[in-house]
Amino acid sequence: MLATTSRLILATLALGAMACGESSDAVSRKDEDTHTGGTPGAGGAQNIGGAADTGGTPVTGGTPTTGGTSGAGGTQNTGGTSATGGTPTTGGTPTTGGTPTTGGTPATGGTLATGGTSGAGGTQDTGGAADTGGTQSSAGEAGAAGTPGTGGVAGIGGTESTGGSSGSGGGPGTGGTPGTGGAPGAGGVEGAPCPDGWTLTWSDEFDGPAGSAVDAAKWNYDYGPNWYNGELQYYSQGTDNAKLDGNGNLVIEARQETREGRQYTSARLKTEGKKTFTYGRFEGRMKLPYGQGLWPAFWLLGAEGGGWPACGEIDIMENLGREPSIAHGTMHGPGYSGASGPTASYTLSGDAKFSDDFHTFAIEWETSEIRWYVDGALYSTKTPADIGGNTWVFTHPFFFILNVAVGGEWPGNPDGTTVFPQTMVVDYVRVCQH
């Protein structure tokens, strides 16, 4: 993380020729008096789930037959083909319409037939096969059953078509193309793990019971008093200051308490000794602490190349608690470290703060280019042209570090306005590669 020129001289003396990957002695920090602002991006596009199927146009059923001249006293049309009539009666007493089946419209008794062959009543529309999510059948029109006989039970159109099973409204939309890593809006649907063209190769979603430690197969700890950059915290291990919350998050907590001569405690986790990475997209989604003296960071440190800064460092995100709306992205190497490290910053729009909600912080690291993103918005690109002819050291494996520092030359120390405890809540850390 950033350092002033005077701090850099002290750190160089302290670090000497230590390798970047030597426990907490690998600490490297930077300071910088000014940062260039970035224009905030609009964030990732929220996946809205696609448009639901509205059910389509209902089927209108079949065209009822007109019947013909009804037979006198024939058998009631049941919805299939009626009896052919038989010998007509000469009048008889008309029925009152019979008892209608449920759902159908009862006949009114009809006109007295003079004889002849009964109308077949047409074939009842059964409603067709139920549409399973496409067009819903509207139950069809009941067959008219012709003019009723003069003594039989009036045809009621047969059994009412049930229309089959109603349409389910269509299958849900597939969600369309996911956003490229942007943070979903409140209550929105989170996008795919990686943008198009990238494949997820490593991640920690921090799932587990509340109060449990991080996955020991993925993370180690730097622990003990921190002697660099004028910081004031003691870094603990285990669940003292870093634990899962049971809701899919890692919580790193900075507290004001004395331990081994330090006035504050916090945690610093790393994948060193577990997993290293060379090139790819590195993204974390997190909500940051706030307040004077707080210094959260999400970064990569070189696992090879000798001591710092020769091993290289890529700060995916650094934030000063006194500037809760600004995120910094910086790279460090031999001849371009500390305040000389190429850097840029991103500022949230309006009065938004990184402590108010979750945001995504990412880099895309290629062979000779590194790009920085906040909420899917590109705000900085660095290449060998930005390091003044010095050596581009971003060609070997690096490992992750997540930490919350307290105090130091760059952020300054906590004061009477600083509220403790403070937390950095991490939803996930993901690596995507081509």
The residues annotated as belonging to the active site are 313, 318
Amino acid at 220: N
Both tokens of residue 325?
A: 């709306």
Contact 353, 326 (CB under 8 A): no
Indicate the SS3 state at residue 6: helix
Give CA angle at 302 (298, 308), nearest 5°.
100
In 3-state terms, what secondary structure has residue 401?
A: strand
Query: What is the H or E stretch that residue 202 is in?
Result: strand 199-204
Give the chain's largest Cα–Cα span. Answer: 123
DSSP string, 212-248: PPP-TTT-EEE-EE--STT--EEEE-TTSSEEE-SSS
* Amino acid making up residue 261: G
Contact 277, 265 (CB under 8 A): no
Residue 285's beta-bridge partner residues?
A: 360, 428
Beta-strand ranges (E) seen in 333-396 are 343-347, 359-366, 369-374, 377-382
Rounded (5°) CA angle 94-100-104: 125
CB 31 within 8 A of CB 297: no
How far, in Å, CA of 279 to CA of 119, rounded? Answer: 81
Helix, strand or coil for residue 8? helix
